[in-house]
């Protein structure tokens, strides 16, 4: 016959074992992000996802915007760029810390497999409309 202290200990361990098994599973690295529509000078609309600065990206080409969220929920672009690799972004250009110092609160990005000409066209279209502070003085 099994004594009661052993049963209580056993039940407690089962609960802890189950908790530990489920609590140590990796959590998703990112949750689905809302889409934000940025309109270029041409009137064309580009869809971007909103990310935090600690988000990680696949090593694929794309466009990105360091943006500041306003009190009313709107967005102001601080820096707009394109890159061959969103995982590394562009070396030598505005870094997240610089953008944050100018008020950026998030990064908006999307992957683009249509080639560099398409990414550059989108970048230029957005720059001509928005004139972000961290792009001032750079060639467009």
Measured over the CA atoms of residue 58, residue 61, residue 67 and residue 72, the dihedral's sign is negative
Q: Is residue 140 part of a domain?
A: no
* 24 in any annotated domain: no
Is residue 17 included in any domain, yes or no? no
CATH number of the domain encompassing residue 55: 3.40.1440.10
Domain that residue 108 falls in: 35-135
pLDDT over threshold 60, residue 5: no
Region class of 89: left (phi > 0), else alpha (psi between -120 and 50), else beta: left
- The pLDDT score that the predictor gives to residue 136 is 87
Per the domain annotation, does 67 fall within a domain? Answer: yes
Report pLDDT digits (tens) over 16-47.
544 544 544 444 444 446 899 999 999 999 99
85 domain-assigned:
yes
Residue 127 lies in a domain: yes
pLDDT tens digits for range 79-122 = 999 999 998 875 547 888 899 999 999 999 999 999 999 999 99
Q: Please tell me the total count of domains within the chain.
A: 1
Of 3-7, 15-19, 104-108, 135-139, the range with the highest mean pLDDT is 104-108
């Amino acid at each position: 016959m099994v004594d009661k202290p052993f049963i209580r200990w056993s039940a407690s361990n089962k609960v802890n074992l189950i908790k530990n098994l489920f609590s140590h599973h990796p959590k998703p690295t990112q949750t689905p992000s809302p889409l934000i529509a940025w309109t270029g000078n041409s009137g064309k609309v580009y869809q971007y996802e909103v990310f935090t600065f600690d988000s990680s990206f696949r090593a694929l080409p794309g466009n990105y915007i360091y943006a500041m969220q306003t009190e009313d929920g709107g967005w102001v672009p601080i820096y707009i760029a394109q890159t061959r690799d969103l995982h590394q972004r562009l070396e030598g250009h505005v870094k997240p810390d610089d953008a944050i110092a100018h008020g950026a609160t998030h990064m908006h990005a999307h992957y683009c497999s249509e080639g560099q000409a398409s990414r550059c066209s989108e970048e230029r279209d957005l720059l001509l409309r928005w004139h972000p502070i961290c792009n001032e003085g750079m060639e467009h």
